[in-house]
Structure 1
Amino acid sequence: MADDATGREVPTRRDYVKYGGGVIGGTLLAGCAGQGDGGESSPTATETPTDEATPTETPEDTSYSVTMSPVGEVTFEEVPSNVMAYSPQYADMLVALGHDDSLNSLGFLSYAETLTYFFDHLDGVSFDAEGLTELFSNGSFDKEILYELDSDVHLMDPAWLSAFDNWSKADTEEVVENVGPFFANRYSREHTQPPEGWRDGYRYYTIWEITEKVSQVFREPERFAALQEEYEKLYATIRSNLPPRSERPSVGLVAFYEGEFYPYKISGPGFGKAHTRPMGARDAFADSDRTYDENYGASYDYEGMLEVDPDVILHNFAVTPFYDWDEVKATVSEDPVGSELTAVRNDRFYASGQSFQGPLQNLLQLEMTAKQLYPEQFGEWPRFEEGDTYPDFPEEEQLFDHQRVADVINGDR
C-alpha cells in the first residue's frame, strides 16, 4: 500500500493492468507480484513439504494490450468488470458488447433516458441506470469519486478531463497509478483541438474505430464484427438509394432555445455527425453570410430562419431529456413567423438524435435520419412525442435487421 499526498492510504496500481507508451508517459506496472491466476503446486504424497515452497510451473501470461490515442498502449491481465464511463457513447458500446453490467457511472444520469429511448424496442435489450454514480458536479470533477468507484478502467479521455478547472495532468497520472487506466478519445466527436499538452500526435477516429478498440479491451471481437457488418450493409443501403443531388432537400440542423435557432453543420467532421453526413443532403446554412460552427457560432431569430427556410428542420438533441420537444414544436409552430417556415407547414420539423452516439445509436439514428429526409426512398418517420421510444418498425420497413442486432447484443450469434 502507498500513501498519497494527503496521507490517505491508497492502493497501488491494479494487478491486472499496466499503462505504457502514451503521452501520460512511462510504463506503470499494476499491482503486486504473485496474484495471478496461476499458483504453486501442492506437494504429492511422496514429497516432504519444506519451509520454502518451490513452484513447479510458471503461470501462463494471459495479458493483452490495446492502443488508442491519446492514452497509448494499455495492457490488461483480464477483462475489466468495474467500469467508469463519462459520455453516453461508451455506455452504448458496453450495451452493444454485452458488458453493460460492468458500468458503475455516467457523467449525467439523465442520459439514461436517451439510451432507453433507443434500446427499449430491441428484443431483450435495455439500459438500467439504477445504482450508477453521476460524475458531473457543479462544473467540476471530483477525484475522490474515482477512488470511491475503484474502477478497473476509466472510459474517459484524459485530455478532455484535463480541461476541467480543478484537474491537472498530475491528477491523471495519480489516478492511473493508484486506481486504473483511462481509455477513451473525446475529440474525435468534432475533430476539435485537445488542450495544450495533449495535441502532439492526437489522432481522430470514427465511432466504429473507437468501438473496435473498446471491443478489444472487453475481448468481444465477434460481437463487434457482427455489428459492424450490419452497419456496413445499412450504410450501403442508404448511399445506394439516395435520390439525385438536385432532388435532395435543404436541411437545417438546429437547436431552438429562447426564441433563437442555433445551427450545426450537417456534414461536419467527426462521429457527432455520423448520422447526418452520409445523407448527402444540402446544408441550408452553407451559403449564409453568418458564421457558424459546431457549437452555436451563430443564431437566427424567426425572421432570419425564414430567410434560410430549409425544406427540413432537424432539431438536434430533441430525443434527449435536455429539450422538451412537445414544447419546442408548439412554440415554433404557434409563432406567426415560425408557422410560415416551409418545414413547419409541411410537417417536416423533426425531433432528431444526438452527437454522443455509440454503435447502436449510430445504427438507429442513421435509419431515423434516412426516413426523415427521404421518406419516398426509405419510408415515413412517425411523429415523436415526449415519452415515446424508438419506433418498432415492421421487418419490411426496417433499414437494417433489428432482430439480428438484438441477437448479437444478447450473445445469440
Structure 2
Amino acid sequence: MAGNDNRLDTNRRGYLKSGGAVIAGGLLAGCLGDSIPASKPENSTSETTSETTPQEQGYTVSMAPAGEVAFDSVPQSVFTILSHHADMALALGHGESINAMHAPGYIQSLWSKFLHHLDGVSVDWNGLYSSWPPTKEKLYELDSDVHLADPAKVGSAEGWSAGDIEEVESNIAPWFGNTFSDTHQKPPAAWADDYEYYTLWEIFANVAQLFQEEARYEALADVRNSVLTTIEDSLPSETERPSAAMVLFSTSDESMWGYKLNAPGYYAAHTRPFGATDALAEVAGAEYGETGGNITLDYEMLLEADPDVLLVLGPMTEYQNISDIRATLSEHRVAKNITAVEEGRVYVQGTRNQGPLLNLFQLEMTAKQLYPAQFGEWPGYVDGEPYPELPTDEQLFDRQRVADIVSGER
C-alpha cells in the first residue's frame, strides 16, 4: 500500500479541496441496486449550488456530500462506480475518460442496446476495473483526476475508513458524486448531517459543471423537458390509468424482488411521471412504505397484487431472456392467473440506475408500455437485439438531436 511518499502535487492533479462535508465512514446494509440480476423522481426539495470562475483561474463545483471542490482544469481521467455517473460523463462527451465502473461488461451490454440508435455514440467499457468495492491500491494505480463517486457510499464499503477517504482525496483526486438520492436512502450516520437529495437531472447539472459542459447539459435538459411536456399533456385521468408492478426475477431460482414506481429518487425517474397505480403498494405492507422501496416477492404476492402491466428488469442484458420469463409465467400454476400475464402485457425494462441518456429512452418505452393509446404501441423487445426501432412520428425525442449534442455538434 502506498504511503505518504505517493502524495501528489495538487497543482498537477488539477484540483484543490476548498470546503465541504466532514469525511467519515460507516456501514450500509444492502446491495448496489439492480445492476446484476442474479444479486439481489424527481421530487427534490434541495437546492444545488455551484460557482464557476474564468477557465484560466480555475473553477469550483459543489454537491453534497463532497461539498465544494476547486479544479484548475477539466478532469481527463475519471473513476466511476455506478452507471448513473458513467452515463452522465458519456452524455457530456467524456465517456472515453472513464477508467473504472462497477460490472463494466454488464453495463456495456445494456447501454449498447440503447446507444445503437444514437449515431456516432458508442462505448468501449469492457475490461475496465470493476470498481465495487474499490481498493485503495487500485485507486493509486489508476491515478484519476476525479473520483466521480459518492464518498459516503465508498465509506460504507467494508474496509474503508474516514481516513481512507481523506487519504485518497488528498493524495490522488477529490470525490464528487451522489448515490443515496437513488431512493432517498439514509446515508451512513456519520454523513447524515451533510447529505442532500437531488433529482437525476440536478446531479447531472452539477456533473456538467464539473466537466465545464453546461451547454451540453442545457441542450439535453431541453430534450427531456419536451418529453415530460408531451407526457403530461397526454396522460389519461387517474381513473383510466393501469396498475403496474416492476420486478426483477432471480436467474437461479424462483426468488423475485419488487420496486416502487412512484417513490422519490432517480431510480423512479422513468416511471414516476406516469402516475400509474403501484400494484405492489397494498400487498407489500409497511416494509414497502419505507424509503428504499424494494421487497422480496413470491408468485402468490404478485397474484394478489395482480398488476395490469408487469415491468421486468434484466432481459435487456445477456443474463436473462424475456421470452423465457414469459414462458415461465404463463406455465406457472399461480403466475398464469396474473392479469398482465393473461393479457400479454409483460414488458422489458432496462435499469433503475439510469443516467440522462437511458432516462430519455426509458421514459419513451414506459410511456408506450403503460399507455399505448396515448403514445403508440410498444413494438416489443427481441432478446439479444437493440432497443426496438420506432417510426419517427412515434418517437418521443429526436435521436439525431441527442446524438449531435453528445458528439458536440449542436
TM over 0.5, shorter chain: yes
Separation in 2, partners of 1:367, 1:162: 36
Separation in 2, partners of 1:14, 1:326: 55
Q: CA offset at residue 14 of structure 1?
A: 4.8
User: If the length of structure 1 is used for normalisation, what is the TM-score?
Assistant: 0.86
Separation in 2, partners of 1:144, 1:243: 54
| Residue in structure 2 matched with residue 262 of structure 1 by the alignment | 257
| Residue in structure 1 matched with residue 332 of structure 2 by the alignment | 335
Separation in 2, partners of 1:401, 1:61: 36
Change (3 A) 1:297 1:74: closer
Cα displacement string for residues 296-335 of structure 1 (whole angstroms, at most 9, x for unaligned residues): 7543332332222110011134424554433323222221
Separation in 2, partners of 1:344, 1:186: 34
| Residue in structure 1 matched with residue 102 of structure 2 by the alignment | 107
Q: CA offset at residue 223 of structure 1?
A: 0.6
> In the comparison of the two structures, how many residue pairs are matched?
374
* Overall identity of the aligned pairs, in %: 43
Cα displacement string for residues 377-400 of structure 1 (whole angstroms, at most 9, x for unaligned residues): 101112223211112222101011
Separation in 1, partners of 2:293, 2:221: 32
Determine whether 1:128 maps to 2:124. Answer: yes
Determine whether 1:299 maps to 2:296. Answer: yes
Determine whether 1:223 maps to 2:205. Answer: no
Aligned to 1:311, which of 308, 311, 317? 308
Change (3 A) 1:298 1:152: closer
Task: Indicate the SS of the match to 1:254.
Answer: strand
Separation in 2, partners of 1:289, 1:80: 45
| Residue in structure 2 matched with residue 198 of structure 1 by the alignment | 191
Change (3 A) 1:188 1:317: farther
Cα displacement string for residues 68-125 of structure 1 (whole angstroms, at most 9, x for unaligned residues): 0000111110111011111111111111111111111111112111111111111111
Aligned to 2:402, which of 396, 405, 410? 405
Task: Indicate the SS of the match to 1:299.
Answer: strand
Separation in 2, partners of 1:327, 1:10: 53
| Residue in structure 1 matched with residue 44 of structure 2 by the alignment | none
Q: Once superposed, what is the RMSD of the aligned Cα atoms? A: 2.1
Q: How does 1:180-195 map to 2 (within 5 A)?
A: 180-195=173-188
Q: For residue 211 of structure 2, what is the amino acid of its counterpart?
A: F
Q: Is the 8 A contact 1:264 1:292 kept in 2?
A: no
Cα displacement string for residues 190-239 of structure 1 (whole angstroms, at most 9, x for unaligned residues): 10110021110311111111111111111111111000000001001001
Change (3 A) 1:9 1:411: closer
Determine whether 1:64 maps to 2:59. Answer: yes
Determine whether 1:384 maps to 2:381. Answer: yes
Separation in 2, partners of 1:206, 1:182: 19
Aligned to 2:172, which of 173, 176, 179? 179
Separation in 1, partners of 2:284, 2:310: 19
Task: Indicate the SS of the match to 2:245.
Answer: strand
Structure holding more helix per residue: 2
Determine whether 1:83 maps to 2:106. Answer: no
Q: Is the 8 A contact 2:151 2:165 kept in 1?
A: yes
Q: Is the 8 A contact 1:284 1:308 kept in 2?
A: yes
Aligned to 1:23, which of 16, 21, 24? 21
Q: CA offset at residue 8 of structure 1?
A: 5.3
| Residue in structure 2 matched with residue 44 of structure 1 by the alignment | none
Structure 1: state its 5+ residue gaps.
26-59
Q: For residue 191 of structure 1, what is the amino acid of its counterpart?
A: H
Aligned to 1:163, which of 147, 156, 170? 156
Separation in 1, partners of 2:333, 2:88: 44
Separation in 1, partners of 2:294, 2:234: 33
Q: For residue 141 of structure 1, what is the amino acid of its counterpart?
A: P
Change (3 A) 1:380 1:187: same
User: If the length of structure 2 is used for normalisation, what is the TM-score?
Assistant: 0.86
Change (3 A) 1:403 1:388: same
| Residue in structure 1 matched with residue 144 of structure 2 by the alignment | 151
Q: For residue 210 of structure 1, what is the amino acid of its counterpart?
A: I
Q: Is the 8 A contact 2:103 2:131 kept in 1?
A: yes
Structure with larger Rg: 1
| Residue in structure 1 matched with residue 273 of structure 2 by the alignment | 278
| Residue in structure 2 matched with residue 240 of structure 1 by the alignment | 233
Q: Is the 8 A contact 1:24 1:173 kept in 2?
A: no
Structure 1 window deviating more from structure 2 (315-324 vs 65-74): it is: 315-324
Structure 2: state its 5+ residue gaps.
24-54
